[in-house]
Amino acid sequence: MSADERIPAALRALAGHGVHGASVDAEGHQREIAAIRVSAGDWERMMGPDGTTVADAVKAAGFRYVALDLAPADAGG
Partner 1 sequence: MVLQRGAGELTTVTGEKRERLEAILRECESVVIGYSGGVDSVFLARVAVEVLGAGRVLAVTGKSDSVASWMEDTAREVARDFDIPWLEVETREMDDPRYAANPSNRCYFCKSELWTRLASVAREHGFKTVLDGSNADDVGDHRPGAVAAAENAVRSPLLEAGLTKAEIRAWSHELGLPTWDQPAAPCLASRLPYGIAVTPQRLRQVERAELALRALGFRDFRVRHHGDVARLEVHPSEIDRVAGHRAAIHAAVLKAGFRRALVDLQGYRRGALNEGLMATQLVQLGAAA
- 60: contact with partner 1 by CB under 8 A: no
Residues numbered 20-49 forming contacts with partner 1, rule: CB under 8 A: 27-30, 32-33, 35, 43-44, 46-48
Distance CA 77, CA 56 (A): 25
- 69: contact with partner 1 by CB under 8 A: yes
Reported as type and span, the H/E element at residue 54 is helix 50-59
> Please, which residues have CB within 8 angstroms of residue 7's CB and are 6 or more apart in sequence?
24, 25, 26
Residues in the site for partner 1, rule: CB under 8 A? 27-30, 32-33, 35, 43-44, 46-48, 51-52, 54-55, 64-72, 77
